[in-house]
Chain A
Amino acid sequence: MEQLLTKLKTIEPSKEFQKQSRLLVLSAPQNIVPRWNFLFSQQYKTVFAAALFSVFAVLTGISIVNKSPASQSMASNFDQEKLNAEVKSLDINIQLSQAQYYQDSAEKIEVALNETSDEYDPAGDHQQRLDALLNELIL
Protein backbone atom coordinates (compact mmCIF):
# COMPACT_ATOMS: atom_id res chain seq x y z
CA MET A 1 0.00 0.00 0.00
CA GLU A 2 2.79 2.42 0.97
CA GLN A 3 4.57 1.75 -2.33
CA LEU A 4 1.37 2.21 -4.24
CA LEU A 5 0.81 5.56 -2.59
CA THR A 6 4.14 6.88 -3.84
CA LYS A 7 2.73 6.51 -7.36
CA LEU A 8 0.42 9.44 -6.57
CA LYS A 9 3.50 11.64 -6.60
CA THR A 10 3.14 11.74 -10.37
CA ILE A 11 0.16 14.10 -9.95
CA GLU A 12 1.30 17.57 -10.97
CA PRO A 13 -0.36 20.88 -11.83
CA SER A 14 -0.52 21.88 -15.48
CA LYS A 15 2.25 24.13 -16.76
CA GLU A 16 -0.28 26.70 -17.95
CA PHE A 17 -1.87 27.01 -14.50
CA GLN A 18 1.53 27.15 -12.86
CA LYS A 19 2.64 30.01 -15.11
CA GLN A 20 -0.56 32.04 -14.76
CA SER A 21 -0.90 31.59 -11.02
CA ARG A 22 2.77 32.46 -10.42
CA LEU A 23 2.38 35.70 -12.35
CA LEU A 24 -0.77 36.68 -10.45
CA VAL A 25 0.65 35.80 -7.05
CA LEU A 26 3.85 37.76 -7.54
CA SER A 27 2.03 40.81 -8.88
CA ALA A 28 -0.09 41.09 -5.70
CA PRO A 29 1.04 43.53 -2.98
CA GLN A 30 2.44 42.11 0.25
CA ASN A 31 0.88 42.82 3.64
CA ILE A 32 2.78 45.36 5.70
CA VAL A 33 3.97 44.15 9.09
CA PRO A 34 3.38 46.78 11.84
CA ARG A 35 6.62 48.48 12.93
CA TRP A 36 6.34 47.48 16.58
CA ASN A 37 6.25 43.83 15.54
CA PHE A 38 10.05 43.83 15.45
CA LEU A 39 9.99 43.85 19.26
CA PHE A 40 8.58 40.36 19.22
CA SER A 41 10.95 38.99 16.61
CA GLN A 42 13.47 36.40 17.75
CA GLN A 43 16.30 38.85 17.19
CA TYR A 44 14.96 41.59 19.47
CA LYS A 45 13.07 39.44 21.97
CA THR A 46 16.06 39.23 24.35
CA VAL A 47 16.83 42.94 24.13
CA PHE A 48 13.20 43.80 24.77
CA ALA A 49 13.04 41.42 27.74
CA ALA A 50 16.28 42.89 29.15
CA ALA A 51 14.93 46.43 28.82
CA LEU A 52 11.73 45.45 30.59
CA PHE A 53 13.72 43.78 33.35
CA SER A 54 15.88 46.91 33.76
CA VAL A 55 12.82 49.13 34.13
CA PHE A 56 11.39 46.69 36.67
CA ALA A 57 14.70 46.61 38.59
CA VAL A 58 14.92 50.42 38.68
CA LEU A 59 11.34 50.76 39.93
CA THR A 60 11.92 48.08 42.58
CA GLY A 61 15.14 49.83 43.65
CA ILE A 62 13.33 53.14 44.03
CA SER A 63 10.63 51.59 46.19
CA ILE A 64 13.29 49.93 48.43
CA VAL A 65 15.22 53.20 48.84
CA ASN A 66 12.00 54.98 49.78
CA LYS A 67 11.50 52.57 52.66
CA SER A 68 15.06 53.09 54.10
CA PRO A 69 15.66 55.41 57.20
CA ALA A 70 17.68 57.87 55.13
CA SER A 71 14.83 58.36 52.74
CA GLN A 72 12.46 58.76 55.67
CA SER A 73 14.53 61.70 57.05
CA MET A 74 14.54 63.11 53.55
CA ALA A 75 10.82 62.67 53.42
CA SER A 76 10.46 64.47 56.75
CA ASN A 77 11.74 67.59 54.96
CA PHE A 78 8.42 67.61 53.25
CA ASP A 79 6.50 67.48 56.53
CA GLN A 80 3.41 69.68 56.26
CA GLU A 81 3.66 71.22 59.76
CA LYS A 82 7.30 72.20 59.32
CA LEU A 83 6.51 73.76 56.03
CA ASN A 84 3.68 75.75 57.61
CA ALA A 85 6.03 77.02 60.33
CA GLU A 86 8.55 78.03 57.69
CA VAL A 87 5.91 79.92 55.78
CA LYS A 88 4.83 81.72 58.94
CA SER A 89 8.38 82.77 59.84
CA LEU A 90 8.80 83.96 56.30
CA ASP A 91 5.79 86.20 56.81
CA ILE A 92 7.35 87.74 59.95
CA ASN A 93 10.57 88.40 58.07
CA ILE A 94 8.62 90.18 55.41
CA GLN A 95 6.85 92.33 58.07
CA LEU A 96 10.22 93.24 59.62
CA SER A 97 11.69 94.34 56.35
CA GLN A 98 8.56 96.36 55.68
CA ALA A 99 8.89 98.02 59.10
CA GLN A 100 12.52 98.83 58.33
CA TYR A 101 11.42 100.39 55.10
CA TYR A 102 8.74 102.46 56.84
CA GLN A 103 11.22 103.62 59.44
CA ASP A 104 13.77 104.70 56.87
CA SER A 105 11.20 106.47 54.79
CA ALA A 106 9.64 108.13 57.84
CA GLU A 107 13.04 109.44 58.93
CA LYS A 108 13.69 110.81 55.49
CA ILE A 109 10.27 112.42 55.35
CA GLU A 110 10.74 113.95 58.76
CA VAL A 111 14.15 115.32 57.84
CA ALA A 112 12.67 116.78 54.73
CA LEU A 113 9.80 118.32 56.67
CA ASN A 114 12.10 119.75 59.32
CA GLU A 115 14.35 121.19 56.67
CA THR A 116 11.32 122.79 55.15
CA SER A 117 10.06 124.25 58.38
CA ASP A 118 13.57 125.02 59.74
CA GLU A 119 12.49 123.45 62.96
CA TYR A 120 14.42 120.27 62.69
CA ASP A 121 14.77 118.56 66.07
CA PRO A 122 16.09 115.01 66.01
CA ALA A 123 15.12 114.46 69.64
CA GLY A 124 11.63 115.94 69.20
CA ASP A 125 8.26 114.51 70.22
CA HIS A 126 7.38 113.33 66.71
CA GLN A 127 10.57 111.39 66.41
CA GLN A 128 10.15 109.79 69.79
CA ARG A 129 6.56 108.85 69.07
CA LEU A 130 7.54 107.39 65.71
CA ASP A 131 10.31 105.35 67.33
CA ALA A 132 7.88 104.08 69.93
CA LEU A 133 5.38 103.08 67.25
CA LEU A 134 8.02 101.31 65.18
CA ASN A 135 9.34 99.48 68.24
CA GLU A 136 5.80 98.33 68.95
CA LEU A 137 5.43 97.12 65.42
CA ILE A 138 8.77 95.29 65.38
CA LEU A 139 8.50 93.69 68.79
Chain B
Amino acid sequence: MLESEKVYIKKAKSGNQEAFGALYDHYLPSIYRFILLKVSNRAEAEDLSHEVFLSAWKNIPGYKDKGFPFSSWLYQIARNAVIDFYRTSKKNIQIEEAPEEFLKINFTGADTLNLDLETDVLKKCVSLLKPEYQDVVIMRFIEEMPHGEVASVLGKSEGAVRLAQHRAIKELKEIYENEIKKYKYNGTTTHEA
Protein backbone atom coordinates (compact mmCIF):
# COMPACT_ATOMS: atom_id res chain seq x y z
CA MET B 1 0.00 0.00 0.00
CA LEU B 2 1.24 3.44 -0.92
CA GLU B 3 2.27 5.67 1.98
CA SER B 4 -0.21 8.52 2.60
CA GLU B 5 -2.45 6.90 0.00
CA LYS B 6 -5.54 8.50 1.49
CA VAL B 7 -4.10 11.97 0.99
CA TYR B 8 -3.33 11.21 -2.65
CA ILE B 9 -6.84 9.81 -3.17
CA LYS B 10 -8.45 12.87 -1.58
CA LYS B 11 -6.42 15.19 -3.81
CA ALA B 12 -7.04 13.07 -6.92
CA LYS B 13 -10.77 13.14 -6.22
CA SER B 14 -10.69 16.90 -6.50
CA GLY B 15 -8.83 16.69 -9.81
CA ASN B 16 -5.21 16.88 -8.68
CA GLN B 17 -3.21 15.29 -11.51
CA GLU B 18 0.00 15.03 -9.52
CA ALA B 19 -1.71 13.00 -6.82
CA PHE B 20 -3.28 10.60 -9.29
CA GLY B 21 0.07 10.41 -11.08
CA ALA B 22 1.63 9.09 -7.88
CA LEU B 23 -1.10 6.44 -7.58
CA TYR B 24 -0.61 5.58 -11.25
CA ASP B 25 3.15 5.13 -10.88
CA HIS B 26 2.71 2.94 -7.82
CA TYR B 27 -0.06 0.66 -9.09
CA LEU B 28 0.56 0.43 -12.84
CA PRO B 29 3.12 -2.44 -12.66
CA SER B 30 0.85 -4.71 -10.61
CA ILE B 31 -2.26 -3.95 -12.68
CA TYR B 32 -0.26 -4.47 -15.87
CA ARG B 33 1.06 -7.83 -14.59
CA PHE B 34 -2.43 -8.89 -13.60
CA ILE B 35 -3.77 -8.11 -17.07
CA LEU B 36 -0.80 -9.49 -18.99
CA LEU B 37 -1.02 -12.85 -17.23
CA LYS B 38 -4.68 -13.04 -18.17
CA VAL B 39 -4.49 -11.93 -21.81
CA SER B 40 -0.94 -13.18 -22.63
CA ASN B 41 -0.27 -10.39 -25.07
CA ARG B 42 1.83 -7.34 -24.36
CA ALA B 43 -0.02 -4.93 -26.69
CA GLU B 44 -3.44 -5.93 -25.38
CA ALA B 45 -2.20 -5.76 -21.81
CA GLU B 46 -0.95 -2.22 -22.44
CA ASP B 47 -4.26 -1.15 -24.00
CA LEU B 48 -6.28 -2.63 -21.16
CA SER B 49 -4.00 -1.19 -18.47
CA HIS B 50 -4.40 2.22 -20.07
CA GLU B 51 -8.19 1.79 -20.07
CA VAL B 52 -8.17 0.78 -16.43
CA PHE B 53 -6.30 3.88 -15.30
CA LEU B 54 -8.28 6.13 -17.61
CA SER B 55 -11.50 4.80 -16.10
CA ALA B 56 -10.07 5.16 -12.59
CA TRP B 57 -9.05 8.78 -13.24
CA LYS B 58 -12.45 9.65 -14.69
CA ASN B 59 -14.40 7.99 -11.92
CA ILE B 60 -12.25 8.75 -8.91
CA PRO B 61 -14.45 11.75 -7.89
CA GLY B 62 -17.14 9.17 -7.03
CA TYR B 63 -14.74 6.75 -5.29
CA LYS B 64 -15.82 5.70 -1.80
CA ASP B 65 -13.39 4.30 0.74
CA LYS B 66 -14.83 1.01 1.99
CA GLY B 67 -11.90 0.17 4.23
CA PHE B 68 -9.87 -1.73 1.62
CA PRO B 69 -6.75 -0.45 -0.13
CA PHE B 70 -7.18 1.60 -3.29
CA SER B 71 -5.67 -1.33 -5.22
CA SER B 72 -8.84 -3.39 -4.60
CA TRP B 73 -10.82 -0.86 -6.60
CA LEU B 74 -8.24 -0.90 -9.40
CA TYR B 75 -8.24 -4.69 -9.54
CA GLN B 76 -12.02 -4.68 -9.81
CA ILE B 77 -11.83 -2.30 -12.77
CA ALA B 78 -9.07 -4.45 -14.30
CA ARG B 79 -11.10 -7.65 -13.88
CA ASN B 80 -14.10 -6.05 -15.57
CA ALA B 81 -11.89 -4.74 -18.38
CA VAL B 82 -10.51 -8.24 -19.03
CA ILE B 83 -14.01 -9.76 -18.94
CA ASP B 84 -15.22 -7.11 -21.42
CA PHE B 85 -12.17 -7.72 -23.58
CA TYR B 86 -12.90 -11.43 -23.91
CA ARG B 87 -16.61 -10.80 -24.35
CA THR B 88 -16.20 -8.28 -27.16
CA SER B 89 -13.33 -9.99 -28.96
CA LYS B 90 -14.90 -13.44 -28.46
CA LYS B 91 -11.54 -14.84 -27.52
CA ASN B 92 -12.91 -16.68 -24.55
CA ILE B 93 -13.02 -20.01 -26.30
CA GLN B 94 -13.26 -23.20 -24.30
CA ILE B 95 -9.98 -25.05 -23.90
CA GLU B 96 -11.73 -28.28 -24.94
CA GLU B 97 -12.95 -26.63 -28.15
CA ALA B 98 -9.69 -24.93 -29.04
CA PRO B 99 -7.60 -26.35 -31.87
CA GLU B 100 -4.37 -27.99 -30.80
CA GLU B 101 -2.26 -25.43 -32.66
CA PHE B 102 -3.84 -22.61 -30.68
CA LEU B 103 -2.71 -24.15 -27.42
CA LYS B 104 0.91 -24.62 -28.40
CA ILE B 105 3.24 -22.57 -26.30
CA ASN B 106 6.05 -21.08 -28.30
CA PHE B 107 8.97 -20.01 -26.16
CA THR B 108 10.47 -17.87 -28.88
CA GLY B 109 7.31 -15.84 -29.48
CA ALA B 110 7.31 -12.11 -30.21
CA ASP B 111 5.80 -11.19 -26.84
CA THR B 112 8.56 -12.79 -24.85
CA LEU B 113 9.42 -10.79 -21.75
CA ASN B 114 13.04 -11.81 -21.31
CA LEU B 115 12.10 -14.27 -18.59
CA ASP B 116 13.99 -17.48 -17.99
CA LEU B 117 12.51 -20.61 -19.46
CA GLU B 118 11.01 -21.84 -16.23
CA THR B 119 9.27 -18.54 -15.53
CA ASP B 120 8.07 -18.21 -19.10
CA VAL B 121 6.47 -21.67 -18.94
CA LEU B 122 4.86 -20.74 -15.66
CA LYS B 123 3.49 -17.48 -17.10
CA LYS B 124 1.83 -19.38 -19.89
CA CYS B 125 0.55 -22.04 -17.51
CA VAL B 126 -1.15 -19.34 -15.43
CA SER B 127 -2.90 -18.13 -18.56
CA LEU B 128 -4.27 -21.65 -19.05
CA LEU B 129 -6.01 -21.67 -15.67
CA LYS B 130 -9.66 -20.77 -15.52
CA PRO B 131 -10.24 -17.02 -14.92
CA GLU B 132 -11.19 -17.32 -11.25
CA TYR B 133 -8.08 -19.37 -10.44
CA GLN B 134 -5.93 -16.93 -12.40
CA ASP B 135 -7.22 -14.07 -10.26
CA VAL B 136 -6.48 -15.90 -7.03
CA VAL B 137 -3.02 -17.08 -8.10
CA ILE B 138 -1.96 -13.64 -9.37
CA MET B 139 -3.29 -11.68 -6.41
CA ARG B 140 -2.20 -14.12 -3.70
CA PHE B 141 1.19 -15.35 -4.93
CA ILE B 142 2.47 -12.72 -7.32
CA GLU B 143 1.08 -9.56 -5.75
CA GLU B 144 1.07 -11.09 -2.25
CA MET B 145 -2.28 -9.61 -1.31
CA PRO B 146 -3.96 -10.78 1.90
CA HIS B 147 -6.97 -13.11 1.68
CA GLY B 148 -9.38 -10.38 2.80
CA GLU B 149 -8.35 -8.03 0.04
CA VAL B 150 -8.57 -10.75 -2.62
CA ALA B 151 -12.02 -11.66 -1.29
CA SER B 152 -13.16 -8.03 -1.59
CA VAL B 153 -11.96 -7.82 -5.20
CA LEU B 154 -13.65 -11.08 -6.16
CA GLY B 155 -16.78 -10.43 -4.10
CA LYS B 156 -16.33 -13.72 -2.20
CA SER B 157 -15.72 -14.83 1.35
CA GLU B 158 -12.20 -15.41 2.64
CA GLY B 159 -13.01 -19.11 2.98
CA ALA B 160 -13.99 -19.31 -0.68
CA VAL B 161 -10.73 -17.59 -1.63
CA ARG B 162 -8.68 -20.08 0.42
CA LEU B 163 -10.47 -22.98 -1.24
CA ALA B 164 -10.00 -21.51 -4.72
CA GLN B 165 -6.33 -20.88 -3.92
CA HIS B 166 -5.79 -24.52 -2.91
CA ARG B 167 -7.46 -25.83 -6.07
CA ALA B 168 -5.73 -23.29 -8.31
CA ILE B 169 -2.26 -24.23 -7.06
CA LYS B 170 -3.02 -27.92 -7.45
CA GLU B 171 -4.20 -27.41 -11.02
CA LEU B 172 -1.29 -25.13 -11.83
CA LYS B 173 1.21 -27.73 -10.63
CA GLU B 174 -0.35 -30.36 -12.87
CA ILE B 175 -0.32 -28.10 -15.92
CA TYR B 176 3.24 -26.99 -15.22
CA GLU B 177 4.61 -30.52 -14.84
CA ASN B 178 2.93 -31.62 -18.06
CA GLU B 179 4.26 -28.64 -19.96
CA ILE B 180 7.82 -29.13 -18.72
CA LYS B 181 7.71 -32.83 -19.64
CA LYS B 182 6.48 -32.01 -23.14
CA TYR B 183 9.07 -29.34 -23.60
CA LYS B 184 11.87 -31.73 -22.65
CA TYR B 185 10.44 -34.25 -25.11
CA ASN B 186 10.01 -32.09 -28.23
CA GLY B 187 10.86 -28.46 -27.51
CA THR B 188 7.30 -27.13 -27.53
CA THR B 189 4.44 -27.70 -25.16
CA THR B 190 0.71 -28.27 -25.61
CA HIS B 191 -1.81 -27.94 -22.89
CA GLU B 192 -4.10 -30.91 -22.56
CA ALA B 193 -7.26 -29.93 -20.77
Which A residues form the contact surface with B (CB < 8 A)? 1-2, 4-14, 17-18, 21-22, 24-26, 28-33, 37, 41-42
Q: Which residues of A contact B176 (CB under 8 A)?
A: 1
Distance between A20 CB and nearest chain B CB, rounded to angstroms:
9
Q: Do the beta carbons of B61 and A1 come within 8 Å of each other?
A: no
Known: A13-B28, A17-B50. 13 other contacts (CB 8 A): A1-B169, A4-B122, A8-B142, A11-B115, A14-B46, A21-B46, A22-B28, A25-B54, A26-B24, A26-B57, A28-B54, A30-B61, A33-B62
Q: Do the beta carbons of B29 and A25 come within 8 Å of each other?
A: no
What would 15 A/B residue contacts be, using CB atoms closer than 8 Å? A2-B169, A5-B126, A7-B118, A8-B123, A9-B142, A11-B115, A12-B29, A18-B28, A22-B28, A24-B50, A25-B53, A25-B54, A26-B24, A28-B58, A30-B59
A-B contact count, CB below 8 Å? 100
Which B residues form the contact surface with A (CB < 8 A)? 15, 17, 20-21, 24-25, 28-29, 32-33, 36-37, 45-46, 49-50, 53-54, 57-62, 64-65, 113, 115-116, 118-119, 122-123, 126, 137, 141-144, 169, 172-173, 176
Q: Do the beta carbons of B60 and A4 come within 8 Å of each other?
A: no
Q: Which residues of A contact B60 (CB under 8 A)?
A: 30
Which 9 pairs of residues, A with B, have the shortest CB-CB distance? A5-B141, A13-B32, A21-B50, A26-B17, A7-B119, A33-B61, A31-B58, A11-B33, A33-B62
